């Protein structure tokens, strides 16, 4: 039986990342007819008009893929939702209202809900390292991928036009903070990119680009150890073959405009420091008293309700989701997607008067790419390396690109690399370029300007 007879049942989703998109998809799969008849309404609140596919972040930073091709327009993938380009400013749990402010406007609106899914994701932890916010680069900030890519190309252009050897060294040195998946993938792909650019930049024929990976642990890829030691060691060897300098057992102590200071007191001259050192959950006003872990994650029960609240749901990076075996699932795209699948199905089941089902996904595997043909994948416990692992990752990621049209465009980028090479032109942006400027800029439109052809 439906929850309401005199008005539509109202579903509101905060966030249009993996969890939100896949929740929408499975809500439509189960109660799409009711939504089309107006018996149920579905509203999505998100500050961007597109979903950025993070699976190929390193390839996009390193100019294999066009920035716009990893962006799936929400109007392609969430066709039957009311899409509001806005920030969720406050949630009134008692009155079941979400207060939103539209992007670039002073206009606010109160959105009522019967079921609310909080899937607002996370942001890079930058403030813990002095100077990182002012002088570092983040891939999860709005526009972070495009601005970082532009910065790297512009640094190459400047290095190719000057004679100051010390400044050339700074411009051609990239420091990556964090030795997990993101950091290792980025370091490997950057090394491959600079090799590919040698034929375009004379400076790269005289000076070698320097990639430094800084990791506080004594070994890279702690997520894989000790069970998948062979994969983690493979990644380490590949980076060493690329000539990536590994600084293990130290942390980023301070980031300056012309260099970075490490916790052992050493200084690395550089103009580029990229953070992959971890994420933090954004806590929306009004939700402070909801059950949370010490790190701020919303505590969910076995069906992905926020614990103790049957009308509130959570998933993805914003939530602590437990594996059926009793441990917390990793914060990555696959688990966010599968959480979204269960959330969408359970919200629909609740509206139909049926009992929601337990989140019982057991996992598929994990994968990393350090450049073309240099993959490290684990599928159901089987460890794969080289081209077979690279292709496994490639086809898996392509399957989960939300828009088939964008998947075709990404495939086209990969296929054309042997013939026309990488993208080499920085893209114009009307938004501020540095992280400090972006955060202080009143307009919240992102730097990533989608260049999508709408059929």
Q: Dump pLDDT digits (tens) for 276-326.
A: 887 777 788 999 999 999 989 999 999 999 999 999 999 998 999 999 999
- Helix 387-400 to helix 404-420 angle (10° resolution) is 140
91 assigned to some structural domain: yes
421 assigned to some structural domain: no
177 assigned to some structural domain: yes
Question: Is residue 435's pLDDT more than 70?
Answer: no
Q: Is 190 in contact with 211 (CB distance < 8 Å)?
A: yes
Assess whether 78 and 152 both reside in one domain: no
pLDDT tens readout for residues 410-427: 999 999 999 999 988 887
* Cα angle, residue 309 at apex, residues 308 and 313 outer, rounded to 5°: 120
pLDDT tens readout for residues 182-214: 999 999 999 999 999 999 999 999 999 999 999
**Given 277, 305, 328, which residue is the final one in a domain?**
277
**Given 319, 347, 365, which residue is the final one in a domain?**
365
Domain that holds residue 109: 9-121+282-365
101 assigned to some structural domain: yes
pLDDT tens readout for residues 30-49: 999 999 999 999 999 999 99
Question: Is residue 371's pLDDT more than 80?
Answer: yes
Contacts of 289 (CB under 8 A, 6+ apart): none
User: Strands, DSSP E only, in 93-234?
Assistant: 97-102, 108-112, 115-118, 122-124, 137-138, 173-177, 210-215
Q: Tell me the C-alpha distance between 201 and 152, whole Å.
A: 13
Assess whether 203 and 258 both reside in one domain: yes
Assess whether 157 and 266 both reside in one domain: yes
What pTM, to 2 d.p., does this model score? 0.87
What is the CATH number for 294? Answer: 3.50.50.60
pLDDT of residue 454: 29
Assess whether 187 and 227 both reside in one domain: yes
Assess whether 254 and 176 both reside in one domain: yes
402 assigned to some structural domain: no
**What does the block give as tokens for 59?**
């390839």
pLDDT of residue 446: 34
**Given 277, 298, 318, which residue is the final one in a domain?**
277
**Considering its fold, how many domains does the chain have in total?**
2
Assess whether 223 and 83 both reside in one domain: no
Listed residue (359, 27, 369) closest to 191, CA to CA = 369
User: Strands, DSSP E only, in 103-184?
Assistant: 108-112, 115-118, 122-124, 137-138, 173-177
Could you report how far apart the first and last alpha carbons of the chain are, in Å? 40
């Amino acid at each position: 039986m439906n929850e309401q007879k005199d008005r539509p049942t109202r579903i509101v989703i905060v966030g249009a990342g993996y969890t939100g998109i896949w929740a929408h998809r499975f809500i439509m799969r189960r109660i799409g007819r009711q939504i089309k008849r107006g018996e149920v309404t579905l509203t999505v609140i998100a500050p961007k008009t597109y979903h950025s596919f993070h699976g190929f972040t390193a390839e996009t930073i390193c100019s294999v893929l066009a920035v716009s091709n990893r962006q799936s327009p929400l109007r392609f993938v969430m066709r039957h939702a009311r899409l509001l380009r806005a920030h969720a400013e406050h949630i009134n749990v008692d009155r079941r209202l979400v207060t939103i402010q539209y992007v670039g406007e002073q206009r606010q609106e109160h959105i009522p809900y019967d079921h609310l899914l909080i899937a607002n994701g996370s942001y890079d932890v930058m403030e813990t390292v002095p100077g990182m916010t002012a002088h570092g680069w983040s891939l999860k900030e709005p526009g972070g991928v495009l601005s970082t890519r532009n910065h790297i190309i512009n640094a190459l252009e400047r290095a190719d036009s000057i004679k100051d050897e010390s400044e050339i060294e700074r411009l051609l040195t990239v420091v990556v903070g964090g030795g997990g998946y993101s950091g290792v993938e980025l370091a490997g792909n950057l090394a491959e990119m600079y090799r590919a650019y040698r034929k375009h930049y004379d400076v790269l024929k005289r000076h070698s680009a320097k990639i430094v990976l800084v990791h506080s642990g004594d070994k890279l890829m702690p997520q894989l150890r000790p069970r998948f030691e062979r994969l983690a060691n493979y990644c380490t060897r590949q980076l060493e073959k690329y000539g990536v300098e590994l600084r293990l057992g130290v942390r980023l102590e301070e980031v300056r405009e012309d260099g970075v200071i490490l916790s052992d007191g050493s200084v690395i001259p550089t103009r580029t420091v990229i953070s992959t050192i971890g994420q933090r959950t954004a806590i929306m006003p009004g939700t402070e008293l909801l059950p949370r872990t010490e790190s701020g994650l919303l505590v969910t029960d076995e069906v992905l309700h926020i614990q103790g609240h049957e009308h509130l749901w959570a998933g993805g990076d914003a939530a602590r989701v437990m594996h059926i075996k009793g441990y917390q699932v990793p914060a990555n795209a696959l688990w966010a997607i599968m959480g979204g699948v269960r959330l969408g199905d359970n919200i629909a089941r609740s509206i139909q008067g049926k009992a929601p089902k337990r989140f019982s996904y057991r996992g598929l595997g994990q994968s990393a790419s350090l450049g073309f043909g240099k993959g490290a994948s684990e599928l159901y416990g089987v460890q794969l390396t080289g081209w077979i692992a690279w292709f496994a990752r490639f086809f898996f990621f392509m399957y989960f690109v939300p828009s088939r049209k964008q998947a075709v465009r990404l495939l086209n980028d990969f296929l054309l690399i042997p013939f026309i090479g990488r993208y080499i032109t920085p893209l114009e942006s009307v938004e501020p370029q540095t992280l400090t400027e972006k955060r202080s800029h009143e307009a919240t439109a992102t730097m990533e300007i989608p260049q999508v052809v709408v059929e």
